[in-house]
Amino acid sequence: MIKASILADRDFAIGDIDPRLFGAFIEHLGRCVYGGIFEPGHPTADENGFRKDVLDLVKELGPTIMRYPGGNFVSGYNWEDGVGPVEERPTRLDLAWFTTEPNTFGTNEFIDWCRAAEVEPMLAVNLGTRGADAARSLVEYCNHPGGTALSDLRREHGWEKPHGVKFWCLGNEMDGPWQMESKTATEYGRVAYEAAKMMRWIDPKIELAACGSSGRNMPTFGKWEDEVLEHTFDQVGFISLHTYLNNYAKDTPAFLASPDLMDAFIDEVVAIADAVAAKRRSPKRIALSFDEWNVWYRTRRNRQERVKEGWPVAPPILEEIYTMEDALVFGGACISLLNHADRVKCACLAQLVNVIAPIMTETGGPAWRQTIFYPFAQMSRYGRGRSLRTSIKSPSYSASYFDPRGPQDLYYPVPSVPYLKASVVANDDGGLTVFALNRHLTEPLSLDLEVRGFGDLGLAAAETLHHRDLSAVNDKENPDRIKPDRFDDVTVSSSRIEMTLPPASWTVCHFARPK
């Protein structure tokens, strides 16, 4: 048994947690839209073709905001193709995923789906093959009440009221050579500034995110953020971050350490954004939109997992099957986000259904939860309120994390990885939630918490996710193989909480004030 402690005080907060921290992402990619959220003819489909079994799972998962329509896809997308009478919409080749896009689902259907799922829509504009003009036209089509050609077109299409989309992404991963019409930081900074300016002239209420680097391992990381923000600082509220954690090296301790590199990435982007502000003597603080994050590696490098030859419609690609091990790393990433609630004001799990996703479906068949479903659902349910500063004492180990996507294969040293990774949230209802990851693979962790300023607390809910086989997965035949168990190894008396976390486990304990 190893021992660790946490000290937290209700008055010492990192920051308020923005509900947008619990976002997710739907891209026209593989079976995310077609056969995922949208499948006319499916036994559970409603009159719009939305799968109700998927909608039910989405509501249980609890995302708050949904990014759409890409991703790489958006950099070649003509939004006009996806509106108007379905039978008149063109079929196109999609060069992001080498598929055929039927355009039977588009912006208006997405807005309807968001209303049904009770999530806020977030739209990305194409700053690859299109530009500022198409971006401002889409804002006018969506958000202008009426009386202009584009807003009246929306009304003719059947959506009388404006969609009121508030959050917009200025393109996607524009630094990446895989992107259609990728750009240098100067090229992107200029077009993003001009697009942002016109989009905000049409609707001053919108919030905008400029593209940051598509990963911390990009050779231009750092310089890119600096130059892009030099151009766009006055027009945007957010800069984006993307990270996909991996275990290519088959090194579980290093994989479990990888969320700590997300912490470093966030701190670095904050430093760059604040340096741009400092050069202007500006009090403005750019927020971070971590609008793609997840574990993803098995279906990433091998072309056969990414591309099905023959330009199929909605092929099964990037259908990563998540293990127990992945769920632990994913839980660590949730903790990283909660612990940066002061600056990460929006985050999107990439993606929602079938494509590197917490929810899987069989076309024509059932839907089920992957292992990573649970930490996300718990974070969204119990992570509301203020993230607290913690003083954590824990034994640690060292690791070296392999990240293959830079100019050459990279190993990042992580010299000190505490076995305990944790976040403490002061909930809006006056209670408190502890999110805890025990990264020791064989030893239980005895955790002693002192929480000041909460008065008497009682245990309201406690769950742990762990399985003796870290490679275990959920599938159609065994959809509940991995799911949280009730956690009993916890006691609370006054301001002291004690618990024993199983080896290689993710645990969530919610404490409430007595009624």
Which residues have a catalytic role annotated?
173, 292
Tell me, rounded to whole angstroms, the distance of Cα 276 from its chain centroid: 26
Min CB(192)–ligand AHR separation in Å: 16
Contact flags string 192-221 toward ligand AHR, x per CB under 6 A: ----------------------x-------
Q: Does 292 bind ligand AHR (CB under 6 A)?
A: yes
The reply to whether 33 sits near ligand AHR by the rule CB under 6 A is no
Cβ–Cβ < 8 Å for 256, 329: yes
Structure tokens at 483: 């799911």
Our finding on whether 291 is near ligand AHR (CB under 6 A) is no
Shortest spacing between CB 431 and ligand AHR, in angstroms: 35
Residue 107 or 351: the one with the smaller Cβ distance to ligand AHR is 351
Could you give the string, one character per residue 64-93, with x where binding to ligand AHR holds by CB under 6 A and - elsewhere?
A: ------xxx---------------------
Contacts for 74 with CB less than 8 Å, ≥ 6 apart: 27, 124, 125, 126, 128, 169, 171, 172
Q: Specify the 3-state DSSP secondary structure of 221.
A: coil
Contacts 24+ apart (CB under 8 A), 88-94: 93/311, 94/28
Residue 421 structure tokens: 């990774």
Rounded to 5°, the CA angle 77-137-154 comes to: 95
CA dist 258 → 38, 379, 401, 426 (Å):
34, 19, 7, 26
Rounded (5°) CA angle 284-286-290? 165
Q: Closer CB to ligand AHR, residue 64 or residue 243?
A: 243
DSSP single-letter state for residue 18: P
Site for ligand AHR in 475-514 (CB under 6 A): none
Min dist. Cβ of residue 511 to ligand AHR (A): 36
Question: Which of 8, 357 has the CB closer to ligand AHR?
Answer: 357
**For ligand AHR, which residue has the nearest CB?**
71
CB of 178 to ligand AHR, least distance (A): 7
Residue with tokens 């957010």: 238
CA gap 138, 198 in Å, rounded: 11
CB of 361 to ligand AHR, least distance (A): 17
Residues that bind ligand AHR (rule: CB under 6 A) add up to a total of 10
Q: Does 173 bind ligand AHR (CB under 6 A)?
A: yes
Q: Which residues, including other chains, have CB under 8 Å from residue 419's CB and lie 6 or more apart?
A: 2, 4, 394, 395, 396, 397, 438, 439, 440, 443, 445
49 CB burial (10 A radius; 0-12, 13-18, 19+) = middle
Smaller CB distance to ligand AHR: residue 35 or 71? Answer: 71
Partners of 500 in beta bridges: 446
CB-nearer residue toward ligand AHR: 405 or 483: 405
Q: CB 172 → ligand AHR: shortest distance, Å?
A: 5
When the beta carbons of 27 and 225 are compared against ligand AHR, the nearer one is 27
- Length of the chain as a residue count: 515
Element (H, E) at 188: helix 185-202
The owner of tokens 């079976």 is 31
**What DSSP line would sit under 298-354, residue for residue?**
TTTS-HHHH--SS--SS---S-PPPBHHHHHHHHHHHHHHHTTTTTEEEEEES-SBS
Binding status of residue 27 toward ligand AHR by CB under 6 A: yes
CB of 99 to ligand AHR, least distance (A): 12
- Quick check: 332 binds ligand AHR (CB under 6 A)? no
- Closer residue to ligand AHR, CB minimum distance, 297 or 402: 297
Q: Is 39 in the site for ligand AHR (CB under 6 A)?
A: no
Binding mask 298-317 for ligand AHR (x = CB under 6 A): --------------------
Interface residue with ligand AHR, options 108, 143, 172, 323 (CB under 6 A):
172
Tell the smallest beta-carbon distance from residue 70 to ligand AHR (Å): 5
Task: Count other Cβ atoms within 10 Å, centred on residue 156.
Answer: 12
Instruction: Establish how many alpha carbons lie within 13 A of residue 37's alpha carbon, considering only the half-sphere containing its beta carbon.
Output: 30
Site for ligand AHR in 243-272 (CB under 6 A): none
Per-residue binder mask for ligand AHR (CB under 6 A), 344-373, x = binder:
------xx----------------------
Side-chain half-sphere CA neighbours of 343 within 13 A: 20
Of residues 392 through 431, those in contact with ligand AHR by CB under 6 A are: none
Find the shortest distance in angstroms from Cβ 299 to ligand AHR: 10
CA distance 149 to 160: 13
Name which of 296 and 419 has its Cβ closer to ligand AHR. Answer: 296
Give CA–CA dist 418/420, Å, rounded. Answer: 5
- Nearer to ligand AHR by Cβ, of 180 and 379: the residue is 180
As a whole number of Å, the end-to-end CA separation of the chain is 36
Residues near ligand AHR (CB under 6 A): 27, 70-72, 172-173, 214, 292, 350-351
